[in-house]
Structure 1
Amino acid sequence: MTDHHTYGTGVHTAGELVRLVGDRLGLDFTERESDYRGLYHLAGIPNGRIEIQPNPIPGNDDEGDLYAPEHPEAQTLLLSTAPAADPDLRARLDSIEGLIHLDQETGRTTTAL
């Protein structure tokens, strides 16, 4: 089973959110670059990861494309992925002012035989 959460904020930049989450959870984020995602920040958590990135897709200034178009007010996204629900992580992220839980997706992991 995999547990994915999407959070968003309209008040914090990616850099500010990296500092807030890093301090709150004791994490060190690494800056990464992707042709599709642009600059994003990655930190490992037990059996999972947290990623922080801008919502606007880089290079599409004319089109205004967003990773989470259903949440245009969220200029910065936080994505968490873990093998199972982690209520403690959720509570700690929910306690960050200006960070709003937007979506949860839980699915089973399939393994090919």
Structure 2
Amino acid sequence: MDAYDTYGTSAYPVAELARLLTEQLGVSFIERDSCYRGVYLVADAGTQRVEIQPNAIPGDDDEDDFYDGDHPGIQTLVLVSGPHRDNPLTAHLDSIDALTALRRHPAR
């Protein structure tokens, strides 16, 4: 089973965080659009998939819903998944000011 980590920040909007991670990790983000998630960004970092997602997503009733309802005060989410936890990537994300680990689900 894969490892899944969720990080959050209210200091960086999606585009700014993508620029920062592109510079620091040397990855390229691709924009995706989902009827469920709205517009989000995806990059591959080795065996890890890194997604940058706004927490507020368009709802069916013209009201925003939260992708992560447990953290409604968080503006931007970083979702990391892979077959195992990449310790250098995790350490790098943990070192970014104003980016907080919200949830970690270990690989089994």
**TM-score when normalising by structure 2:** 0.90
Q: Given the superposition, is the C-alpha separation of residues 69 and 24 from structure 1 closer, same or farther in structure 2, using an over 3 Å criterion?
A: same
Q: Cα deviations across residues 60-82 of structure 1 (Å, max 9, x unaligned)?
A: 57554211111112110000001
| Greater Rg by CA | 1
| Aligned positions of 1:16-95 closer than 5 A | 16-60=16-60, 63-95=63-95
Report what 1:111 is aligned to.
Answer: none
Q: 1:99 is matched by which residue type in structure 2?
A: L
Contact 2:2/2:83, CA 8 A, preserved across alignment: yes
Moved more, 64-73 or 96-105: 64-73
1:85 aligned counterpart, secondary structure:
coil
Query: Which ranges in structure 2 are unaligned for 5 or more consecutive residues?
Result: none
Report what 2:2 is aligned to.
Answer: 2
Report what 2:11 is aligned to.
Answer: 11
Report what 2:106 is aligned to.
Answer: 106
Cα separation, 2, equivalents of 1:2 and 1:72: 26
Count of aligned positions: 108
Cα separation, 2, equivalents of 1:88 and 1:61: 41
- Displacement of 1:85 in angstroms is 1.6
Q: 2:48 is matched by which residue type in structure 1?
A: G
Cα separation, 2, equivalents of 1:57 and 1:39: 8
Q: 2:52 is matched by which residue type in structure 1?
A: I
Q: Given the superposition, is the C-alpha separation of residues 76 and 60 from structure 1 closer, same or farther in structure 2, using an over 3 Å criterion?
A: farther
Runs of 4+ in 1 over 6 A off after TM superposition: none
- Displacement of 1:107 in angstroms is 4.1
Output the aligned Cα RMSD.
Answer: 1.6
Aligned-pair identity (%): 47
**TM-score when normalising by structure 1:** 0.87
